[in-house]
Every structure is written in C-alpha cells, then in structure tokens.
C-alpha cells in the first residue's frame, strides 16, 4: 500500500484492494512470512469484539509478533487522555496500533501522531478489514468479481460503506436496499459510485429488499443497531421491520446465491431464526477469512 496506515477502503486504490485479496488467498493456503518478528502491536478496543480481536491476536502471532490488548477502560481514548497523547506515548514502545473506535477521527489522530502503521479495526465510518475478508469469501464462492452482484439489505453503516467501496473498486455490482433515512453518508456513496462508473459496474440504491436481491449472487446484511446506536434501538427496529433477510427473500435472489453477515447476528431482527444455519449461509467462512484478510494487510504494511 502507498500509505503507512490502513484506515479506510476509500483511501486505497482499486489495484491495492485487488492485491490485498490475492495476498489473503495466498496466505490462507501458503507460508506465513514472519514480518512481525520482534515486533509488538497495541490493540486498542473502545467497543467489544470477538472476531476482530481474536483474529488479530492469532494473526499477529502467526506472523511472528506479539500484542498488548487495551480496553476502553484501560485507556479512555479522548476522555482520560487525548488520542494524540496516547499515540505519542505508544510511539515510544510499540511497532503498530490496531484500533476499534467510536469516532473515525480518533484513528486519523492516532495515525498522524504515531510513526508506524495504524489499522482500523472498525470505526463509525468504515470496517475495512471486514471488507477485505469479505471479498476473499465472495471470490471463493463466486469467482471473478466482474460477474458478481452483491445485494445489501439493511443499514447504511460502517460495514456496508466499506463493502460498497470494495465491491465498486474490484468491479463487482452492488445494490443496496435501505430505508430512505438510513442510506450511506453521501461522501461514501459518491466515492463508491465514482469507482463503479470507472469499472462500468452497477451501484444502485432502492428502498425495496425484493428489488435489491433480484439477480443477486450474494445477499448481505448486518445488525440494525450498531455499537454506539443503542439509544436509537426502538426507532431503528421499527424503521427496518421490512428489511429482514429470511429464506423467502433469499428465494428471490439468483439460484445458488449465498448469504453473508459480518456478525454478531440478531435472530428475529435482521435475520430470521434459521438464516445462519441455512444451506446458503457462508457466515463462518467469512469469519475465518477475517484472519487471512488482516494477515494480508499486516504483511503489506510491515513487510516493507
Ligand atoms: N455495524 C456493526 C458491526 C459489528 C462488527 C457495528 O458497528 O456494531
């Protein structure tokens, strides 16, 4: 990658994203370069995590490094101490930062003040590590991106923002169904649309889940209430009531379509009870591929 950090899919060129996915596939099946030998990374998590935390801890060890985990209460990023002070202190001890934050701005401040790589482990704006793993999963199940159409049903949030940008960058079609008030932020949507236009791929929005899944090879959803949105939970559940992914909606997608979800999944809300265990679900492949995608990011950033 050109930059020292991995903060957003929107910061990367299309070729860089394609190369990360190829590298992730190679790392999944091949040797693991010891690019983190002798290095220690700080994992800063302002929000809970299962997949991201464990896959980073495992990946860092696989690549020869070690890590220190710091929870919200340990640091108080921006409350107990300004993010810039945290960055300048960690700069004296550790060789990289992996951070899950409420505000994307905190990541930018960390990256400005820390000499070595900062990796976004989820912010309010993007979840780029998820997108790299997801492209790997999509390529494993569906082959060449040019022929793939992804339908997003649900919230215009961090996960869908990164996925829209990633799909547009590699030439996969992306059709999004959200309620009008829950569309992606305009800068993210506009950038994804520009990338799709360059690749002559589809980038569309509709309010109708049935319309979105027509002809789709992949149907993807995420929680209606992201971490940080808890105060709006009731309002959101009402707004998204017609946006559940269930077997009947999957039946309207292309034959052979797969179901994806970044998890945690809330049965009875964004998915029906049976969706995780449906024969079309590839959610555990997705979870596994977080590891390989992130390892590719770390090899790229630390491998020189
Ligand atoms: N959109 C969700 C993703 C969780 C991995 C959230 O931000 O809580």
Interval 115-130: pLDDT, tens: 999 999 999 999 999 9
Q: How far is CA 130 from CA 120, 211, 262, in A?
A: 10, 25, 7
Closest residue by Cα to atom 1, ligand 1, is 226
- Distance between CA 153 and CA 194 in Å, rounded? 21
- Distance between CA 101 and CA 255 in Å, rounded? 39
Closest residue by Cα to atom 8, ligand 1, is 226
- Distance between CA 129 and CA 24 in Å, rounded? 11
User: How many C-beta atoms surround the C-beta of residue 259 within 10 A?
Assistant: 24
Ligand 1 neighbourhood includes 201 CB (under 6 angstroms): no
Cα–ligand 1 centroid distance for 170 (angstroms): 23
pLDDT at 131: 98
Ligand 1 neighbourhood includes 124 CB (under 6 angstroms): no
- Distance between CA 10 and CA 128 in Å, rounded? 9
- Strand order of the β-sheet with 218-221 is 203-206, 173-177, 149-153, 218-221, 258-261
Backbone Cα Rg of the chain: 19
Cα–ligand 1 centroid distance for 227 (angstroms): 6
What is the model's pTM? 0.98
**In a structure prediction context, what are the per-residue pLDDT tens digits for the chain, which is 304 residues long?**
888 999 999 999 999 999 999 999 999 999 999 999 999 999 999 999 999 999 999 999 999 999 999 999 899 998 999 999 999 999 999 999 999 999 999 999 999 999 999 999 999 999 999 999 999 999 999 999 999 999 999 999 999 999 999 999 999 999 999 999 999 999 999 999 999 999 999 999 999 999 999 999 999 999 999 999 999 999 999 999 999 999 999 999 999 999 999 999 999 999 999 999 999 999 999 999 999 999 999 999 999 7
Ligand 1: nearest atom to the Cα of 122: 7
Cα–ligand 1 centroid distance for 33 (angstroms): 30
Cα–ligand 1 centroid distance for 122 (angstroms): 8
- Distance between CA 242 and CA 269 in Å, rounded? 10
Of 236, 244, 248, 284, the residue nearest 267 (C-alpha)? 244
Ligand 1 neighbourhood includes 262 CB (under 6 angstroms): yes
User: How many C-beta atoms surround the C-beta of residue 292 within 10 A?
Assistant: 23
Closest residue by Cα to atom 6, ligand 1, is 226
Cα–ligand 1 centroid distance for 225 (angstroms): 8
- Give me 178's structure tokens: 């959200």
Cα–ligand 1 centroid distance for 223 (angstroms): 7
Sign of CA dihedral 244, 247, 252, 258: positive
Ligand 1 neighbourhood includes 55 CB (under 6 angstroms): no
- Give me 21's structure tokens: 């996915």
How far from each other are the two terminal CA atoms of the chain, in whole angstroms?
Answer: 10
């Amino acid at each position: 990658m050109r930059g020292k950090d991995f903060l957003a899919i929107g910061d990367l060129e299309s070729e860089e994203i394609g190369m990360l996915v190829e590298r992730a596939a190679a790392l999944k099946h091949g040797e693991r370069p010891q690019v983190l030998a002798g290095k220690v990374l700080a994992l800063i998590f302002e929000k809970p995590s299962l997949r991201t935390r464990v896959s980073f801890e495992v990946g860092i060890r696989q690549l020869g490094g070690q890590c220190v985990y710091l929870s919200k209460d340990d640091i108080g990023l921006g409350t107990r101490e300004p993010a810039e002070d945290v960055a300048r202190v960690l700069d004296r001890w550790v060789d990289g930062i992996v951070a899950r934050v409420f505000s994307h701005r905190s990541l930018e401040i960390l990256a400005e003040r820390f000499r070595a790589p900062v990796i976004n482990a989820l912010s309010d704006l993007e979840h780029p590590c998820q997108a790299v793993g997801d492209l790997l999963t999509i390529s494993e199940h569906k082959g060449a991106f040019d022929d793939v159409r992804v339908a997003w049903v649900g919230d215009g949030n961090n996960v869908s923002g990164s996925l829209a940008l990633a799909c547009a960058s590699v030439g996969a079609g992306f059709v999004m169904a959200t309620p009008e008030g829950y569309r992606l932020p305009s800068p993210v949507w506009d950038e994804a649309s520009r990338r799709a236009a360059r690749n002559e791929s589809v980038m569309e929005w509709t309010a109708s889940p049935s319309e979105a899944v027509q002809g789709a090879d992949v149907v993807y959803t995420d929680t209606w209430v992201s971490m940080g949105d808890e105060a709006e939970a009731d309002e959101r559940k009402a707004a998204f009531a017609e946006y559940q992914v269930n077997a009947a909606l999957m039946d309207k997608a292309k034959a052979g379509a797969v179901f994806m979800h970044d998890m945690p999944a809330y049965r009875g809300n964004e998915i029906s009870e049976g969706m995780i265990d449906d024969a079309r679900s590839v959610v555990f492949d997705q979870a596994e591929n977080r590891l390989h995608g992130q390892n590719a990011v770390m090899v790229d950033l630390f491998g020189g």
